[in-house]
Amino acid sequence: MKKRIFCSLLLAMSIVSLAYSQLVHEGAMSVVYYMPQTQLAITVDYDEVSVVPGPFYLYAERYLGVKDVATEAQTRYHMTGIHLSPRTVADADRPIQVLATAGGEGQWLSLTAEGLLYGYNVDSSAQPAQPQEVSELVEAPSAMTLMPLMEEQMVASSIAKMAEGAAKQIYHIREMRINLLGGDVEHTPADGQAMQLVLNELDRREQMLTELFIGTRTVRHHQHTILYVPTEDVEDYVVARMSQYNGVVAADDLSGEPIRLSLTGQYQTYLPELPVDSKSKVLPSQVYYNLPGSAQVHVACGQHVQITTQLPIAQFGVAVPLSKNLLTQRNTPHIYFNTQTGNILTIQK
pLDDT digits (tens, 9 = 90+) for 263-301: 999 999 876 655 544 444 444 447 899 999 999 999 999
Q: Which pLDDT band holds residue 92 (cuts at 50, 70, 90)?
A: very high
More confident residue, 18 or 326: 326
3-state secondary structure the chain: CHHHHHHHHHHHHHHHHHCCCCCEECCCCEEEEEEEEEEEEEEEEEEEEEEECCCCHHHHHHHHCCCCCCCCCEEEEEEEEEEEEEEEEEEEEEEEEEECCCCCCHHHEEECCCCEEEEECCCHHHCCCCCCCCCCCECCCCCCCCCCCCHHHHCCCCHHHHHHHHHHHHHHHHHHHHHHHHCCCCCCCCCHHHHHHHHHHHHHHHHHHHHHHHCEEEEEEEEEEEEECCCCCEEEEEEEEEECCCEEECCCCCCCEEEEEEEEEECCCCCCCCCCCCCCCCCCCCCEEEEEEEEEEEEEECCCEEEEEEEEEEEEEEEEECCHHHHCCCCCCEEEECCCCCCEEEEEC
Q: What is the pTM of this model?
A: 0.71
Residue 35 has pLDDT above 60, yes or no: yes
pLDDT for the residue numbered 240: 95
pLDDT at 16: 35
Q: Percent of the chain beyond pLDDT 90?
A: 43
Residue pLDDT, tens place only, 196-238 = 898 899 899 999 999 999 999 999 999 999 999 999 999 999 9
